[in-house]
């Protein structure tokens, strides 16, 4: 809501600049989006009087105008507006002037005719199209006849006012009006404020004889109407139009403008009906019936149902209550009798109706938040008075009141001790009482206790905490001390799980992978790739796009998306890991379970080419090395084995391994299937994904000291030919099992399956290290053990020792 600085100054004696006032409001009440003065940035824009005009010889729409701008000689200005006419007062941008959007106007020629400046439309001097009166939307604006040529136009158009744009939070509906804002400012500046009271001059007949209202007071706790006859529709006076357009509303005619003006001033939305268009003299406030239709003022058709509140006459709905009036009973040329409605509608209904019909209006916004229920009649009277004064209307005697349930004010007790305990302050009873009274609340003090009767307009205040906020903000948050909580000590430590998750990240970063955070919401297809267990998908009910519609059940597909993003930007070497959750759901259960996972993906090379070393493309074994190093870091207790997996549809069938700890599958590792790579438009990529929760839950090894032997170790190398399908793991397992008591380690140092070995065979070579912890090993003992294991390899695995 844009509130006028000048309007505020009519009520409060403020000696502050608009920017400072805005700052104060922001620090004490509600956020301020910005403060603008419409004339800012404009230069040399004056009133001009069109003395004469003639058609441009070379154009069918341009006119050559002689314009008096208060100087000795008139200016010749070529103007293309269809509505320009001699005798008008117009807005003239002089040569050297600056209009909206910082555009400079110079002397020029238009189709050969010199033109000294420009006659402007309101839009050209910064008005938003939505607030320009309809008559002037497609042409220049015509100023009042009494404007003086040569004067700056700003004051005529209210452009020197400053407008403070309040971003009102949902609880502060009271700030959506001048009067509500004034109440707050009165407290902030500790100044009394007197608000004017309407005095209605009534004439004619009793309204009760002309109109009856029938109201369901559950839907409308207050419903009041006045009737004004013989109104003369006309444009509103300038001051009223200025109030409206500066608040962002388009002036229409005096009757409609008055209802909008009262809304801005009191916060009470009003509606004006053309009484003569009612079918009958009875008006009903009721829920709509399914099947009923209404065309609203904006000429849109709406299908109504029982959750909409409508105003209806004998035949049909004539307004969507609290949201928008109907077209059939709207104020139009020829309207002479106006029924003004001032009411309170139940906010939940209004909210839903506004949502369902996508009609968020100034009225619905106010009803949703709640309006000042003690001011409904006053706003109605003020509108009637203005229709008398500005439209010559004859206000009929009295009001019709269909319902008049005004809520009792909230009465809240709190103690001074509580105030100071919660705020951390040392306020006196006088200070607190004064703050509350300045807000217009009544306060009774008894010992330490305050009994506060809250003004009804503040419908956001119900409990002591609400009053604490009032006290704190008016006292000023800057004045609060800054301390830290005292009280009983607590330990702040990470849990084992949190520590392991941090260690996981540090480990993988140390191994060369960058942490990625990808989207957890993905496509249905990607959500189901690289599955580590069976699960139902979990869909959003109303996704924004299909790209983010289903909860992921793997992390790898997100990393592949990331690689694709890099790849599309010509970044070829990408090494990423991600720690995050996957979402598994059982059939028949709405809520998925969440499992922590860790995944990695590398494409290109981990170690880019350098002047002293060539690039080495990532391969299975490099990724395996990373996974192994990571698992070693996590110190999981139990044998880690890698078992070929030929069945994962998204993975290369010959280059994928399941990762087992102690026989439990905790993840997989390998190259993604070339067809998957193609689908993601990426190069060969190696990935792994592990169930991190499983790693967290597994028992861990403790660090312990192992004596380093003082006695020398002896090594023996062994090379052998084996069948291709014999795995390294089989060979190592056998050597370890049969290697004797002193075998310390087995290390593979060569694999060869090239031309020098027979087809179907491969050569494997290992270094075996022997050591005794307690004495120097005898060569013979090693030779004996070595021969024994060689024999075993021949017998059990058919190895040919070379």
Partner 1 sequence: MSLKDKLSELRQRGLADIKKSSDLKDVNQVRVQLLGKKGPITEVLRGMRDLDAEERPKVGAFANEIRDDLTNALAERKAELEEAVLNAQLAKETIDVTLPGTPVAKGEPHVIQQIVDQIEDLFLGMGYQVLSGPEVEEDKYNFEMMNLPKNHPARDMQDTFYITKEILMRTQTSPMQARTLEKHDFSQGPLKMISPGVVYRRDTDDPTHSHQFHQVEGLVIDKHVTMADLKGTLQVLAHELFGDKFDVRLRPSYFPFTEPSVEADITCFNCGGKGCKVCKNTGWIEVLGAGMVHPNVLKMAGVDPDVYGGFAFGVGPDRFAMLKYGVDDIRNFYLNDVRFLTQFTKKG
Locate 725 and state its tokens: 């399908």
Contact 727, 716 (CB under 8 A): no
Locate 461 and state its tokens: 């205040």
Torsion of CA 62, 68, 74, 80, to 10 degrees: -10
Helices marked H in 569-660: 620-634
Shortest distance (Å) from residue 445 CB to partner 1:
21
Contact 173, 30 (CB under 8 A): no
Shortest distance (Å) from residue 315 CB to partner 1:
32
Q: Which is nearer to partner 1, 86 or 411 (CB)?
A: 411
HEC per residue, 519-563: CCEECHHHHCCCCCCCCECCECCCCCCHHHCEECCCCHHHHHHHH
Shortest distance (Å) from residue 604 CB to partner 1:
10
- As a whole number of angstroms, the distance between CA 755 and CA 745 comes to 30
Q: Which is nearer to partner 1, 145 or 482 (CB)?
A: 482
- At 388, is the secondary structure helix, strand, or coil? helix
Q: Which is nearer to partner 1, 562 or 650 (CB)?
A: 562
Q: What share of the chain is helix, strand, coil (3-state, %, to 5)?
A: 30, 30, 40
- As a whole number of angstroms, the distance between CA 734 and CA 41 comes to 88
Shortest distance (Å) from residue 579 CB to partner 1:
9
In the block, which residue shows the tokens 């009520």?
A: 11
Strands (E), 380-518: 394-397, 400-404, 411-415, 442-446, 449-453, 514-515
Q: Which residues pair with residue 45 across a beta bridge?
A: 93
Contact 99, 93 (CB under 8 A): yes
Would you call 708 exposed, middle or buried from its count of C-beta atoms within 10 A (0-12, 13-18, 19+)? exposed
Shortest distance (Å) from residue 276 CB to partner 1:
37
Shortest distance (Å) from residue 267 CB to partner 1:
16
Q: Which residues pair with residue 52 across a beta bridge?
A: 66
Shortest distance (Å) from residue 453 CB to partner 1:
19
Q: Which is nearer to partner 1, 612 or 704 (CB)?
A: 612
Long-range residue pairs from 652-660, CB within 8 A, at least 24 positions apart, any chain: 655/620, 657/624, 659/627, 659/631, 659/688, 659/690
Shortest distance (Å) from residue 174 CB to partner 1:
13
- As a whole number of angstroms, the distance between CA 67 and CA 79 comes to 11
- As a whole number of angstroms, the distance between CA 633 and CA 448 comes to 62
- As a whole number of angstroms, the distance between CA 640 and CA 613 comes to 32
Q: How many CB atoms lie within 10 A of CB 680?
A: 17
Q: Which is nearer to partner 1, 289 or 505 (CB)?
A: 505
Shortest distance (Å) from residue 569 CB to partner 1:
6
Contact 111, 88 (CB under 8 A): no
Q: Which is nearer to partner 1, 444 or 629 (CB)?
A: 629
Q: Which is nearer to partner 1, 508 or 734 (CB)?
A: 508
Q: Which is nearer to partner 1, 367 or 786 (CB)?
A: 367
Q: Which is nearer to partner 1, 411 or 463 (CB)?
A: 463
Q: Which is nearer to partner 1, 75 or 500 (CB)?
A: 500
Shortest distance (Å) from residue 483 CB to partner 1:
5
Q: Which is nearer to partner 1, 3 or 225 (CB)?
A: 3
Q: Which is nearer to partner 1, 173 or 739 (CB)?
A: 173
- Stretch (H or E) spanning 602: strand 593-603
Residue 752: HSE in the Cβ half-sphere, 13 Å Cα cutoff: 13
DSSP letters for 688-717: EEEEHHHHHHS-BPPP---PPPSSPPEEEE
Q: Which is nearer to partner 1, 300 or 515 (CB)?
A: 515
Shortest distance (Å) from residue 23 CB to partner 1:
7
Strands (E), 121-235: 142-143, 163-167, 202-206, 212-215, 222-229
Shortest distance (Å) from residue 547 CB to partner 1:
9
Shortest distance (Å) from residue 627 CB to partner 1:
15
Would you call 588 exposed, middle or buried from its count of C-beta atoms within 10 A (0-12, 13-18, 19+)? exposed
Shortest distance (Å) from residue 511 CB to partner 1:
7
Pairing between β-strand 514-515 and β-strand 574-584 as defined by DSSP bridges: parallel
Shortest distance (Å) from residue 510 CB to partner 1:
7
Locate 218 and state its tokens: 């559950």
Phi–psi pair at 584, nearest 5 degrees: -105, 140
Residue 327 DSSP symbol: S
Angle at 212 between CA 208 and CA 217, to 5 degrees: 120
Q: Which is nearer to partner 1, 545 or 704 (CB)?
A: 545
Q: Which is nearer to partner 1, 75 or 575 (CB)?
A: 575
Q: Which is nearer to partner 1, 428 or 514 (CB)?
A: 514
Shortest distance (Å) from residue 476 CB to partner 1:
9
- As a whole number of angstroms, the distance between CA 363 and CA 12 comes to 27
Locate 177 and state its tokens: 């009006």
């Amino acid at each position: 809501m844009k509130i006028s600085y000048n309007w505020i100054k009519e009520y409060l004696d403020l000696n502050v600049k608009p920017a400072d006032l805005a700052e104060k409001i922001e620090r004490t009440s509600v956020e301020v989006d910005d403060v603008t003065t419409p004339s800012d940035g404009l230069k040399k824009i004056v009133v001009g009087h069109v003395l004469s005009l003639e058609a441009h010889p070379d154009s069918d729409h341009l006119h050559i105008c002689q314009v008096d701008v208060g100087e000795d000689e008139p200016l010749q200005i070529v103007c293309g507006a269809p509505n320009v006419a001699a005798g008008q007062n117009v807005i003239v941008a002089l040569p050297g002037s600056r209009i909206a959007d910082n555009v400079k106007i110079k002397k020029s020629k238009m189709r050969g005719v010199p033109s000294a400046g420009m006659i402007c439309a309101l839009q050209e001097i910064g008005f938003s199209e939505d607030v320009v009166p309809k008559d002037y939307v497609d042409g220049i604006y015509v100023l009042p006849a009494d404007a003086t040529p040569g004067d700056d136009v700003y004051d005529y158009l209210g452009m020197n006012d400053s407008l403070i744009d309040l971003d009102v939070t949902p609880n502060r509906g009271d700030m959506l009006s001048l009067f509500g804002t004034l109440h707050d400012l009165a407290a902030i500046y500790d100044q009394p404020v007197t608000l004017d009271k309407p005095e209605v001059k009534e004439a004619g007949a009793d309204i009760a004889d002309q109109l009856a209202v029938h109201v369901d007071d559950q839907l409308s706790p207050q419903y009041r109407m006045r009737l004004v006859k013989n109104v003369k529709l006309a444009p509103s006076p300038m001051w009223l139009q200025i109030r409206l357009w500066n608040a962002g509303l388009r002036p229409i005619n005096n009757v409609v403008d008055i209802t909008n003006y009262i809304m801005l001033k009191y916060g009470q939305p009003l509606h004006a009906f053309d009484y003569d268009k009612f079918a009958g003299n009875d008006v009903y406030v009721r829920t709509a019936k399914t099947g009923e239709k209404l065309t609203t003022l904006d000429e849109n058709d709406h299908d109504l149902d029982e959750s909409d509140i409508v105003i209806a006459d004998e035949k049909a709905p004539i307004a969507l209550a609290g949201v928008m009036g109907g077209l059939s009973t709207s104020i139009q040329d020829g309207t002479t009798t106006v029924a003004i409605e001032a009411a309170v509608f139940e906010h939940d209904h209004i909210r839903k109706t506004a949502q369902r019909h996508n009609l968020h209006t100034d009225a619905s916004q106010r009803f949703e938040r709640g309006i000042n229920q003690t001011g409904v009649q006053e706003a109605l009277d003020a509108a009637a008075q203005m229709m008398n004064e500005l439209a010559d209307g004859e206000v009929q005697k009295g009001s019709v009141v269909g319902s008049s349930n005004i809520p009792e004010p909230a009465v809240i007790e709190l103690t001074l001790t509580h105030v100071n305990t919660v705020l951390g302050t040392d306020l006196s009873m006088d200070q607190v009482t004064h703050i509350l009274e300045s807000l217009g609340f009544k306060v009774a003090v008894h010992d330490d206790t305050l009994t506060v009767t809250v003004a009804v307009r503040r419908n956001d205040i119900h409990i002591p905490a609400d009053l604490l906020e009032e006290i704190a903000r008016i006292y000023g948050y800057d004045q609060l001390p800054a301390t830290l909580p005292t009280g009983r000590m607590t330990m702040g430590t990470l849990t084992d799980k949190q520590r392991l998750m941090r260690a996981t990240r540090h480990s993988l970063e140390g191994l060369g992978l960058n942490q990625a955070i990808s989207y957890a919401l993905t496509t249905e297809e990607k959500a189901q790739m690289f599955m580590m267990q069976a699960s139902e998908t979990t869909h959003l009910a109303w996704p924004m796009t299909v790209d983010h519609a289903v909860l992921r059940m793997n992390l790898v597909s997100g990393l592949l998306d990331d690689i694709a993003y890099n790849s599309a930007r010509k970044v070829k070497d990408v090494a990423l890991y991600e720690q995050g959750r996957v979402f598994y759901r059982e059939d028949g259960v709405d809520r998925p379970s969440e499992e922590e996972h860790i995944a990695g993906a590398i494409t290109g090379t981990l170690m880019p080419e350098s002047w002293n070393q060539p690039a080495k493309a990532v391969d299975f074994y490099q990724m395996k090395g990373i996974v192994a190093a990571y698992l070693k870091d996590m110190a999981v207790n139990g044998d880690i084995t890698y078992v070929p997996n030929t069945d994962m549809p998204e993975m290369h069938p010959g280059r994928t391994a399941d990762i087992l700890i102690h026989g439990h599958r905790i993840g997989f590792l390998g190259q993604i299937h070339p067809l998957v790579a193609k689908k993601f438009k990426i190069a060969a990529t190696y990935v792994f994904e592990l169930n991190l929760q499983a790693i967290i839950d597994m028992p861990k090894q403790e660090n312990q000291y192992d004596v380093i032997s003082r006695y020398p170790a002896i090594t023996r190398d062994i090379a052998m030919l084996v069948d291709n399908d014999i795995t390294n793991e089989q060979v190592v397992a056998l050597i370890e099992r049969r290697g004797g008591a002193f075998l310390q380690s087995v290390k593979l140092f060569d694999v060869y399956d090239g031309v020098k070995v027979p087809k179907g065979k491969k050569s494997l070579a290992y270094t075996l290290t022997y050591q005794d912890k307690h004495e120097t090993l005898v060569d013979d003992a090693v030779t004996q053990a070595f021969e024994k294991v060689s024999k075993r390899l021949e017998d059990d695995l058919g190895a040919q020792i070379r």
